[in-house]
């Protein structure tokens, strides 16, 4: 992921997988999206806690992402990230595990962190070595504890803090238009996978970043 100093004029897209998917179908669907649209990073975000399920999914997606030179991170399963040769881990428990993950995975791995709507958690995560901090939900979503990450948080962070930020949760074209000047990445997942044509859905949301 690019550092804040190289922030492009348009935010980059951080793609999140569905919470469950068919291994026979989804890797092909993901490949089509990656071939059509520039993606900065993919996050394997399965609801399953079964090690075999997670490992097989990670192996299948790694083939797709690494063939296209795109980073693949996994939600929370730091040990699997290490064992399966993934690019890093996305932590959903705020800033608590950042230091531990960084120590285990080394300086080159991506370590990101979901911090809800908490400026304090975001700062703590950044100080602990997070490569990015994720705030959300930005729009109406069941993400986190329901507290919305307000526009003011993104404005303040973009002016004061160097650590790149990701906007996630409840993203619509209107929300994206509003937050675009103040974020480095948009994490998009459920917004596109529930649609019949994920590529078209993503292109529509991407157009709002212009």
CA distances from residue 87 to 46, 71, 80, 96, 112 in whole angstroms, order as listed: 17, 6, 11, 20, 11
Map out the domains of the chain as residue ranges.
Answer: 4-207
Question: Residue 1's pLDDT is what?
Answer: 56
Which has the minimum average pLDDT: 16-20, 75-79, 93-97?
A: 93-97
Listed residue (188, 125, 111) closest to 157, CA to CA: 125
Q: Is 153:134 a contact under the CB 8 Å cutoff?
A: no
pLDDT exceeds cutoff 70 at 3: no
Of the chain, the percentage scoring pLDDT greater than 70 comes to 95
Average pLDDT of the residues of the chain: 94
Handedness of CA 169, 188, 72, 180 (dihedral sign): negative
List, in sequence order, every residue forming a beta bridge with 148; answer none if it has no partner.
none
Beta pairing class for 88-91 and 110-114: parallel
Q: Say which DSSP state 181 is in.
A: G
Helices (H), the chain: 26-36, 51-67, 78-83, 98-105, 119-127, 151-160, 173-179, 190-193, 198-207
Chain centroid to CA 106: how far? 20
> Residue 130 burial by CB count (10 A; 0-12/13-18/19+): exposed, middle or buried?
buried
Q: What dotted CATH number matches 4-207?
A: 3.20.20.70
For residue 40, list its beta bridge partners: none
**What's the predicted TM-score (pTM) here?**
0.93
Gyration radius of the chain over CA positions? 16
Q: Are the beta carbons of 183 and 175 closer than 8 angstroms?
A: no
Tokens 């996978």 label which residue? 193
- Helices 198-207 and 26-36: crossing angle, nearest 10°? 30
Could you tell me which residues are beta bridge partners of residue 71?
41
Q: What is the pLDDT of residues 80-138, one digit of tens each?
A: 999 999 999 999 987 889 999 999 999 999 999 999 999 999 999 999 999 999 999 99
Residue-level pLDDT at 141: 76
pLDDT of residue 93: 85
| Per-residue model confidence as pLDDT tens digits over 167-193 | 999 999 999 999 999 999 999 999 999
CA triplet 76, 45, 6: central angle to 5 degrees?
80
Which of 88, 56, 45, 81 lies closest to 193, judged by CA? 45
- Tell me, what DSSP letter sits at residue 37? S
Check if the beta carbon of residue 73 is closer than 8 Å to that of residue 86. Answer: yes
DSSP state of 6: G
């Amino acid at each position: 992921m690019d550092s804040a100093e190289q922030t492009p004029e348009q935010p980059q897209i951080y793609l999140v997988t569905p919470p469950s998917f068919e291994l026979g179908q989804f890797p092909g669907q993901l490949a089509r999206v990656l071939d059509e649209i520039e993606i900065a990073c993919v996050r394997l975000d399965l609801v399953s806690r079964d090690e075999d399920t997670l490992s097989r999914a990670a192996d299948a997606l790694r083939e797709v992402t690494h063939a296209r030179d795109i980073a693949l991170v996994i939600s929370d399963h730091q040990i699997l990230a290490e064992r399966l040769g993934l690019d890093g881990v996305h932590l959903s428990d705020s800033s608590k595990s950042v230091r531990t993950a960084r120590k285990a995975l080394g300086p080159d791995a991506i370590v990101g962190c979901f911090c809800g709507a908490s400026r304090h958690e975001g700062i703590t995560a950044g100080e602990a070595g997070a490569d990015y901090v994720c705030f959300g939900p930005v729009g109406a979503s069941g993400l986190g504890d329901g507290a919305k990450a307000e526009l003011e948080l993104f404005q303040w962070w973009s002016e004061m803090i160097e650590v790149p930020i990701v906007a996630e949760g409840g993203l619509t074209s209107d929300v994206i238009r509003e937050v675009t000047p103040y974020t480095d990445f948009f994490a998009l997942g459920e917004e596109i996978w529930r649609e019949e044509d994920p590529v078209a859905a993503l292109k529509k949301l991407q157009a709002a970043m212009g």
